[in-house]
C-alpha cells in the first residue's frame, strides 16, 4: 500500500492506495481506534461486486457490519434520500462514534459524506472509492453534497473523511466509459500541476486502458497526490483550489446544453482542449503543447471536437455557473503543460469563436 497524507490545520488524514484495500480496511479502522458498529453505504451494483469482501475483512477484525443501500444513479444525491438514510441510521442506533463507510463512486461518496456531516452534527466518514473518478477526485478534499432543484451539488459542506482507502483492484470491473470519465480528471491533474506526470501519461495510456495494475496504481497515486497538495493549500476554495475546475467551465456548459447526453468526463475533456485553444489564441499556450494535449485526450478515448451546440446557449449557461464572479466568466487556462492560470479577461469574441468549433 502506498500512503499519502492530506495535511490540514485540523482533521488531516491519510489516503492508502493499492491492491487488496477492501480486505485490509478493518485492520486500518482498528489502528484508528474504531470499534463496534460500522455502517457501509453503497448501491446494489457495488454491493454485489465488493460488499462481501469488505464485510468479511471487517467482521474478521471484530466489527459489526450494517449495510445501507440506495439505488444506483445521480438522482440519489438528494435531500429525500438523505432523509431516508437518517431514519435508517437512527433505527440501527448509530451513534456519534459510528463511522459511515462510503463504498462506491462519487455519487455514494458525496451522499454518504453529506449524511455523515449532518447526522448527529457529524459522524466519522471513511471513503472507499471504487470508480477512477472517485479515487482521483471526489473522495479527496471533503466536498460533500446533494443536488437540489435544478442545481448540482448546491446543498453541502466541507467535511473531510477520517481515512480514504483506495483499492485499485476495484477498477477491473469498471465499465470502459466510467474509466474514460475518470481519465479526464487524471489528465486534468497532470496539466494543472505536473508536466512529468503528463509525459508519463503520454507513454502509458495504452497500459492504463489494458488495466495494468502497476500503471493504474501510479496514475491514481499521482493524481491523488496532486489533489491532496492543492486541498492542503486551499481547503475551502478561496483561491488556488479553483484550478481543479480546469476544463469544467466550458465542460459544464456542454453537459447542460446537451441536456446531459454528453457525459461529464467527455464534456470536461472537450472543455480542457477548448481552454487550451483559448490560451493559444491569446498567445500564451504553445501550439505544440496544445497538440500534445489533444493527442493524450484522444488516446484516452475521449472526444476533442466541439459538439454542434449553439454558442449563445453555451455562453448563457456559463454565465449562470458557480464559476462566474462579478458577472464575468472565470477560466482556468493552461500556460504550459503543468501550469495554469486563472483569468476573467477572455474576450467574448474569442469565447464565441472557440465554442463555434
Ligand atoms: P457514479 O458514482 O455514478 O459511478 C458510476 C457508475 O459506476 C455507477 O453506475 C456505479 O454503480 C458504478 N460503479 C462504481 N464502482 C464500480 C466498480 N468498481 N465496478 C463497476 N461499476 C462500478 O459516478 P462517478 O463518476 O464515480 O461520480 C460522479 C459524482 O461525483 C457526481 O455526482 C459528481 O458531482 C461527483 N463529484 C464530486 C466531487 C467532489 O469533490 N466531491 C468531485 C468530482 C465529482
Ligand atoms: N472537484 C473539485 C474540487 O474538489 O475542488
pLDDT tens for each residue of 6-59: 999 988 999 999 999 999 999 999 999 999 999 999 999 999 999 999 999 999
Is residue 325 pLDDT above 70, yes or no? no
Spatial separation of the C-alpha atoms in residues 250 and 336, rounded to whole Å: 19
- Note whether 157 and 219 are same-domain residues: no
Nearest CA to ligand 1 atom 5: 105
Q: Is 154 a catalytic residue?
A: no
Q: Is 245 a catalytic residue?
A: yes
Q: Is 320 a catalytic residue?
A: no
CATH code at position 228:
1.20.1090.10
Centre of ligand 1 to C-alpha 215, Å, is 21
**Which residues neighbour 299 within 8 Å (Cβ) at sequence distance 6 or greater?**
202, 205, 206
- Note whether 260 and 167 are same-domain residues: no
- Note whether 204 and 269 are same-domain residues: yes
- Please state, in angstroms and as integers, the Cα–Cα distance from residue 195 to each residue in 198, 200, 239, 288, 292, following that order: 5, 9, 22, 14, 11
**Which residues neighbour 94 within 8 Å (Cβ) at sequence distance 6 or greater?**
37, 39, 66, 100, 119, 120, 123
Spatial separation of the C-alpha atoms in residues 125 and 14, rounded to whole Å: 13
Centre of ligand 1 to C-alpha 225, Å, is 20
Is residue 324 pLDDT above 70, yes or no? no
Phi and psi at 267, nearest 5°, equal -65, -40
Q: Are 159 and 139 in contact (CB under 8 A)?
A: no
Q: Are 119 and 86 in contact (CB under 8 A)?
A: yes
Domain boundary among 172, 190, 206: 172
- Please state, in angstroms and as integers, the Cα–Cα distance from residue 307 to each residue in 82, 254, 354, following that order: 36, 8, 11
- Note whether 269 and 320 are same-domain residues: yes
% of the chain with per-residue pLDDT over 90: 88
* Number of structural domains in the chain: 2
Spatial separation of the C-alpha atoms in residues 174 and 223, rounded to whole Å: 18
Is residue 147 pLDDT above 80, yes or no? yes
Give which of 119, 98, 116 is closest to 29, Cα–Cα.
Answer: 98
- Note whether 198 and 239 are same-domain residues: yes
Domain boundary among 143, 172, 201: 172
Task: Give me Rg for the CA atoms of the chain.
Answer: 20
Spatial separation of the C-alpha atoms in residues 189 and 231, rounded to whole Å: 13
Residue 54: domain span: 2-172
- Note whether 119 and 8 are same-domain residues: yes
CATH code at position 163:
3.40.50.1970
- Note whether 168 and 180 are same-domain residues: no
pLDDT value of residue 323? 59
Give which of 174, 238, 183 is closest to 46, Cα–Cα.
Answer: 174
pLDDT value of residue 310? 85
Q: Are 20 and 169 in contact (CB under 8 A)?
A: yes
Centre of ligand 1 to C-alpha 104, Å, is 7
Q: Is 188 a catalytic residue?
A: no
Domain boundary among 172, 207, 230: 172
- Note whether 331 and 194 are same-domain residues: yes
- Note whether 166 and 203 are same-domain residues: no
- Note whether 153 and 202 are same-domain residues: no
Instruction: Say if ligand 2 is within 6 A of residue 140 CB.
Output: no
Mean pLDDT of the chain: 95
pLDDT value of residue 5? 97
pLDDT tens for each residue of 168-225: 999 999 999 999 999 999 999 999 999 999 999 999 999 999 999 999 999 999 999 9
Q: Is 178 a catalytic residue?
A: no
Q: Is 147 a catalytic residue?
A: no
Q: Is 328 a catalytic residue?
A: no
List 248, 277, 292, 330, catalytic entry? 248
Give which of 160, 153, 137, 145 is closest to 323, Cα–Cα.
Answer: 153
Spatial separation of the C-alpha atoms in residues 18 and 20, rounded to whole Å: 7
Instruction: Say if ligand 2 is within 6 A of residue 143 CB.
Output: yes
List 55, 193, 227, 277, catalytic entry? 227
pLDDT tens for each residue of 90-136: 999 999 999 999 999 999 999 999 999 999 999 999 999 999 999 99
Q: 292 is written with which cell numbers? A: 500534445
Question: Which ligand does the CA of 113 lie closest to?
Answer: 1
- Note whether 163 and 182 are same-domain residues: no
List 47, 252, 277, 292, catalytic entry? 252
pTM exceeds 0.85: yes
Pocket probe for ligand 1: among 40, 136, 138, the residue whose CB has the most ligand atoms within 8 Å is: 138
pLDDT tens for each residue of 33-43: 999 999 999 99
Segment 311-340 shows an average pLDDT of 84
Instruction: Say if ligand 2 is within 6 A of residue 244 CB.
Output: yes
Residue 80: CB atoms within 10 A of its CB come to: 10
- Note whether 199 and 341 are same-domain residues: yes
Strand, helix or coil for residue 310: coil
Segment 260-288 shows an average pLDDT of 96
Amino acid at each position: 500500500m502506498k500512503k499519502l497524507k492530506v495535511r490540514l490545520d485540523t482533521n488531516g488524514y491519510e489516503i492508502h492506495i493499492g491492491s487488496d484495500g477492501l480486505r485490509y480496511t478493518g485492520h486500518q479502522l482498528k489502528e484508528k481506534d474504531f470499534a463496534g458498529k460500522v455502517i457501509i453505504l453503497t448501491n446494489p451494483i457495488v454491493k454485489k461486486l465488493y460488499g462481501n469482501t469488505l464485510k468479511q475483512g471487517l467482521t474478521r477484525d471484530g466489527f459489526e457490519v450494517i449495510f445501507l443501500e440506495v439505488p444506483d444513479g445521480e438522482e440519489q444525491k438528494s435531500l429525500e434520500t438523505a432523509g431516508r438514510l437518517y431514519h435508517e441510521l437512527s433505527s440501527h442506533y448509530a451513534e456519534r462514534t459510528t463511522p459511515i463507510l462510503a463504498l462506491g463512486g462519487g455519487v455514494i461518496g458525496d451522499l454518504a459524506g453529506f449524511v455523515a456531516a449532518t447526522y448527529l452534527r457529524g459522524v466519522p466518514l471513511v471513503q472507499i472509492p471504487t470508480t477512477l473518478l472517485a479515487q482521483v477526485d471526489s473522495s479527496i478534499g471533503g466536498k460533500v453534497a446533494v443536488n437540489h432543484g435544478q442545481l448540482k451539488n448546491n446543498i453541502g459542506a466541507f467535511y473531510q473523511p477520517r481515512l480514504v482507502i483506495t483499492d485499485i483492484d476495484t477498477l477491473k470491473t469498471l465499465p470502459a466509459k466510467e474509466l474514460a470519465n475518470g481519465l479526464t480528471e487524471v489528465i486534468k491533474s497532470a496539466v494543472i500541476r505536473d508536466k512529468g506526470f503528463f509525459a508519463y501519461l503520454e507513454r502509458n495510456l495504452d497500459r492504463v486502458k489494458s488495466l495494468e495494475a502497476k500503471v493504474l496504481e501510479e496514475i491514481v497515486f499521482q493524481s491523488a497526490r496532486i489533489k491532496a497538495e492543492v486541498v492542503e493549500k486551499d481547503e475551502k476554495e478561496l483561491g488556488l483550489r479553483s484550478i481543479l475546475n480546469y476544463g469544467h467551465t466550458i465542460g459544464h456548459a456542454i453537459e447542460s446544453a446537451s441536456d446531459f447526453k454528453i457525459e461529464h468526463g467527455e464534456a470536461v475533456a472537450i472543455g480542457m482542449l477548448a481552454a487550451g485553444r483559448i490560451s493559444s489564441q491569446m498567445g500564451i499556450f504553445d501550439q505544440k503543447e496544445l497538440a500534445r494535449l489533444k493527442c493524450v485526450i484522444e488516446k484516452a478515448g475521449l472526444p476533442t471536437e466541439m459538439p454542434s451546440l449553439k454558442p449563445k446557449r453555451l455562453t448563457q449557461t456559463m454565465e449562470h455557473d458557480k464559476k462566474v464572479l462579478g458577472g464575468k466568466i472565470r477560466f482556468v487556462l493552461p500556460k504550459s503543460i503543468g501550469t495554469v492560470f486563472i483569468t476573467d479577461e477572455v474576450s467574448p469574441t474569442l469565447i464565441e469563436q472557440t465554442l463555434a468549433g
